[in-house]
A and B are shown apart, each in its own frame.
Chain A
Amino acid sequence: MVTTGEDGIQAKAGVDQYLTFMLAGEEYGVDILKVQEIKGWDPATPIPNSPEWLLGVINLRGTVVPVVDLRRRFGLEEAQFGPTTVIIVLKVPGAVREKTVGIVVDAVSEVYNVAADAVTPPPEIASSAATRYVRGLARVEDKMVILLDSEHLLDFDAAATAH
């Protein structure tokens, strides 16, 4: 089965498409079907007594959407927000219904087709916070892309109880 998207990128059975973005020099990917939109950075309203990686909430056309600073989430060094800094708005399944959540990343990179058999499971080092949210590693055009499990990454309730 081959379907062709508007942009001419082909999706084959067993091949998933990932939107990749840069974060502290590494390339990460999220399932493109989970991406609602990409928007420029706007200051967020901080939420009191929330994890430090939650920047706050923004107004997305009338909906209040939480925004996560992915660098802080992964315990990476902080960076100044620059002109390429964007918010990727993701749809993640919630306990009751789908939630809309933004992640702040350094820059958006590419859209890649990744065959399921090109993904290797994450290395068994559970020490780093980031590895818990990694679905797998994919080799694309001689680069390594870290595929994220956005569902776990943005599970606020689990994050709250862990804190």
Chain B
Amino acid sequence: MSDDFSEFLDVFFEECAEGLDVMESGLLALDGGTPDGEAINTIFRAAHSIKGGAATFDFPRLADFTHTVEALLDRMRDGRRAVTRDAVDLLLAAVDALRGMVAASRAGEPLDEARAADLKRDLEAAMDAPAASAAGETAAPTPAVQDGAEPATGWRIRFVPAEEMLARGNDPLHILRALEELGRLEVRTDGAGLPALDALDTTRCHLGFDLTLHGTVSEVQVREVFAWVDGECELHVAPLDPAAASPPAAVGRDEPEPHAAHDPTTDPEAPVDTTATAEPPAAVPSAAPPALVPAPRAGPAVASAAAKPQAAPAPTGGGEAGSIRVGIEKVDGLINLVGELVITQSMLSSIAEGANGVDLEKLRDGVAQLVRNTRELQEMAMQIRMLPIATSFNRFPRLVRDLGARLGKQVELRIEGGGTELDKTVLEKIGDPLVHLVRNSMDHGIERPEQRRAAGKPDIGVLTLAARHEGGNIVIEVGDDGAGLDTARILAKARERGLVGVDEDLTEAQVHDLVFRAGFSTAEQVSDVSGRGVGMDVVRRNIQELGGAVTVTSAAGTGSTFTIRLPLTLAILDGQLVRVGAQIYILSLLSVVESVQVKPGLVSRVAGHTEVFALRGRYIPVVRLHRLFGIDADSARLEDGLLVVVEAAGRRVALFIDELLGQQQVVIKSLESNYRHVQGLSGATILGDGRVALILDVPRLIQRELAAGRGAALAAVDPAA
């Protein structure tokens, strides 16, 4: 029982997180452009689900706080409160606070009560702000005075349930009963929607209701009753005119209708048919625009107006695009099964290849089909793990907005290719490096407005986040139109730190690559955003751990672009099988440049031990795998074997092996799950014959080799020596 409950709890917390993301991106979208009723509605609904869940799972503080947020949103929605930048800031802060509360609730830790109380006070204060701005909106309606916090003497409610409301488990009758608990309720039914008797479908709602509720009840209380049918009904709530001493007309009563006492905007003749015309204009969501004032450009950051069209549909679409929530362990299980199928298939293939005879022709055909099916199944299974990168990109509008404000820079964020899908694991791990790169571009790349103006560029800098598929890879670019990397300063700094020799000549690309070196930062001012010299090296390492690479291109004055290349998935690798002695190792095909037979004389020894191999004028250090791994090779003479040139991050080494075997897709199995991480290995796989083969971690091998023998390997060597 309690187990079941905790399972639901987890789902609730996950939904909270998703809801908060929706709220955040919705708020950011509001911030930049012209707000529309539906945008606020989306935010409101997300808040509302969190509130409902919190109440169900007994987190009263969370429910209470969300309720306050919701109340302010409600005011924005029906136009009683203008959508200002301040209000959006406040709501964003509230979203952050909610995140904290959800995290604390999940961990069973105490909530940050003080922060919540402060924010709650601010939110409540914000509710009292005027509906329309000083821009002189005509819509400033009388009901603005009718603040929900101050209960009216009564409410006139028009409630028309959607026809399918019953099917969704809601019953108008319950709502009427709930209203009755708030005060004396008069109900007048509107049968205009009733079909002919023979067409009557008793599972659908055909009636509308005109309700009059007497009693000192706040609007929030009234709307609360309708909270669960939000979006499933037509609902208008208007205060009874306080001046009207007697309640307005209702069924079965014969008091005269209080014409004169009515609000001038209310049609005195037709309380029964109070549609939009009978409403204070501000209470009609669809008529909201006049009251919703675009955020004044107070802040320096022009928040993501451009990001909105791409980024905004993602959360809404994501929630409704028939997505399912699958436990990751189930997906992993499925992928393991498929992995085994791949193994079976490669086993069958090897049998089939060895056999001959006429009957075996069929076996070959069958195997061919199995190969095709397996690959399709594999691809389909992998799809389950694929998520659009928008889930990672969506955090950036907020980051760019906040950072821009802090740095005093105007930045427009452009997001391209948010629908590009990549593996969930990759997606989770790429977030932090991306944040780092975006911060870096904001801090070092894009200049302050005055500098930009001086350079003849528009004040507003453009930061581009783009993702796309390219071959078997995902390419993610973080680009800016800022000042570009300062080659001279980087080189000076590198020389000063001893990273580059005084007489060493580097190409521009090599200089740019220096920014990824540990302990390197050219920021003149160390800010709290970046510039502490930790970071870019970590970014590169994290990306390499994902089997990817990061490079930078830059042009002075026009900007820099960091390009990340990642494998589509971490679970399957296109492998090159190589043999060293009795062992088979696997190299990622992506890292293999070429393989060469060595001729004596092409290999020189540097400083006595490091061997370098001259390949078309380039010196490549040789790594003897048998020595590195402490195993026996067929021969220790380089001429007897092969050199496989592998590359990572623009650097190459040649691996000495005995024999090059075939190429095949291999399913990566973790060594860590039952053993531990092993230096130089990125995992293991199972070959067709059932044996385990180890997968080499080429980037790490190169890194280690070049670190160990750097001075020797990179020093200029006379090829004749």
Contacts and interface: CB of A to CB of B under 8 A. Distances in A.
B345 to A, nearest CB: 13
Interface string B670-689: 11011110111100101000
B336 A48 contact: no
Interface in B375-398: none
Interface stretch (A10-18, A55-63, A109-117, A128-136): A55-63
Contact of A48 (B628, B673, B690, B692): B628
A48 B669 CA distance: 17
B670 to A, nearest CB: 7
Given A57-B671, A64-B671, A160-B676, 17 more contacts: A45-B684, A47-B694, A48-B628, A48-B678, A48-B681, A49-B678, A49-B680, A57-B675, A57-B692, A59-B686, A62-B340, A62-B669, A64-B670, A64-B686, A66-B674, A99-B674, A156-B675
B684 A64 contact: yes
Contacts of A97: 673
Interface residues of B, number: 27
A85 interface: no
A46 interface: yes
B657 to A, nearest CB: 14
Given A45-B694, A59-B686, A99 B673 contact: yes
Nearest to A159: B676
Given A59-B691, A66-B674, A156-B676, A48 B340 contact: no
Contacts of B680: 48-49
Given A58-B692, A59-B691, A64 B678 contact: no
Contacts of B343: 62
A101 B690 CA distance: 18
Contacts of B670: 64
Contact of B629 (A44, A49, A59, A160): A49
B583 interface: yes
A66 B681 CA distance: 15
Interface of B: 336, 339-340, 343, 583, 628-631, 669-671, 673-676, 678-681, 684, 686, 690-694
A62 B678 contact: no
A100 B671 CA distance: 11
Contacts of A107: none
A93 to B, nearest CB: 12
Interface string A139-163: 0000000000000000011001000
Given A57-B684, A59-B686, A59-B691, A45 B674 contact: no
Q: Which 8 A-B pairs have the closest CB atoms?
A: A48-B629, A66-B675, A45-B692, A64-B669, A62-B340, A156-B676, A64-B684, A99-B674
A97 B670 CA distance: 13
Contact of A62 (B339, B629, B631, B679): B339
Nearest to B696: A48
From A50, A57, A156, residue with most partner B Cβ within 10 Å:
A57
B583 A47 contact: no
A45 B691 contact: yes
Interface residues on A, range: 20 to 34
Nearest to A157: B676
Given A59-B690, A64-B692, A48 B630 contact: yes
Contacts of A56: 692
A65 interface: yes
B678 A50 contact: yes
Nearest to A91: B674
Contact of A100 (B674, B681, B684): B674
Contact of A64 (B583, B628, B674): B674
B686 A62 contact: yes
A61 B674 CA distance: 14
Nearest to A66: B675
Contacts of A46: 583, 631
Contacts of A49: 629-630, 678-680
Contact of A47 (B340, B628, B678): B678
A45 B339 contact: no
Interface string A59-102: 10111111000000000000000000000000000000101110
Nearest to A62: B340
From B339, B669, B675, B676, residue with most partner A Cβ within 10 Å:
B675
B629 to A, nearest CB: 4
Contact of B669 (A47, A63, A160): A63
B628 A101 contact: no
Given A45-B583, A47-B675, A100-B674, A59 B681 contact: no
Nearest to B692: A45
A49 B686 CA distance: 20
B116 to A, nearest CB: 34
Contacts of A48: 628-631, 678, 680-681, 694
Contacts of A64: 669-671, 673-675, 684, 686, 692
Contacts of A44: 692
A47 to B, nearest CB: 6
Contacts of A160: 676
A59 B343 CA distance: 11
A48 B681 CA distance: 9
Given A48-B630, A49-B630, A59-B690, A65 B678 contact: no
A144 B692 CA distance: 38
9 contacts: A57-B671, A59-B686, A61-B340, A62-B343, A62-B686, A63-B673, A64-B671, A64-B675, A101-B674
Contacts of B631: 46, 48
A146 to B, nearest CB: 25
Contacts of B340: 61-62
A160 B671 CA distance: 15
B656 to A, nearest CB: 15
Nearest to B680: A48
A85 B479 CA distance: 61
B374 to A, nearest CB: 15
A49 B630 CA distance: 7
B348 to A, nearest CB: 16
Contacts of B673: 63-64, 97, 99
Nearest to A43: B691
Contacts of A58: 692
From A46, A48, A97, A101, residue with most partner B Cβ within 10 Å:
A48
B65 to A, nearest CB: 34
A64 B670 CA distance: 7
B585 to A, nearest CB: 10
A134 B455 CA distance: 74
Contacts of A50: 678
Nearest to A42: B690
